[in-house]
Amino acid sequence: MRNLYKLAAVLLTALLFSAPLTLRAQTALQDPQAIMGEVESFLLTRAQELPGTPSIAVTPPRISSQPACDQLETFLSNPQLRSRMSVGVRCMAPEPWTLYVQASVSIQGYYYVANRSINMGETLTHDDLVAREGDLLRLSRGVIIDPSQAVGYIAQQRIGAGSTIRSSALRDPDSIVRGQAVKTEARGIGFVATGEGVALDNGAPGATIQVRTSSGQVVTGTVVNNTTVRVLM
């Protein structure tokens, strides 16, 4: 009988010590390095949308209870790249979970400032632009980083020498401005009707604006160029 008690004690001890090992093996935690790699790759892909040299620094995530994942997916709550980012990482399988990882992003590239004082109504040329190098993500929204988005465009306001050039300060030379006399063009099956009117909105080619016709009727149309609006039928 004493031997039986000893055997039972040995078996019970073996079960007590082996159970935690089995449990730990079944619930291995997610490798934080794998998450960091996913986030870095994701942000590098997004950074390629801007011209420049990206630099990514990912803060190691704190793994507390997230089990190892076979299928990770990264996402952004705000699609706009910023200097400091919070990137979501979710596990799709085998057990779903979500956490957020902090990252720093910079993109060294060129932006453009005015080489001289540019008055409202002037058309910009290459000589009006000077390139400056810096972190593109720290620039104000709309600062020109592609000279093709400025050369040939018309200043809508005065731009001081040395000031950054913003897209909001320029207008497409083929755009229409509010109050401008325009030609309307209505197309249907087998006919084209033209007329005249006054633009009630500003609009670049492809934009939808309203026009008051010579008869006083307000119609909606699409800007074709700086003189013509195609009326929707």
In this prediction, residues 189-213 reach a mean pLDDT of: 90
Contacts of 217 (CB under 8 A, 6+ apart): none
Residue 26 has a pLDDT of 56
**Is 108-171 CATH 2.60.40.2890?**
no
pLDDT tens, position by position, 34-68: 999 999 999 999 999 899 999 999 999 998 889 99
Could you tell me where the beta strands, DSSP code E, fall in 115-157? 129-135, 154-155
| 181-231, CATH topology level | SH3 type barrels. (2.30.30)
Domain positions in the chain are 32-102, 108-171, 181-231
Q: Is the fold of 108-171 the same as that of 181-231?
A: no
| One-letter amino acid for residue 34 of the chain | A
Write the pLDDT tens digit of every residue in 206-215. Answer: 999 999 998 8
Q: What's the pTM?
A: 0.69
SS3 at position 41: helix
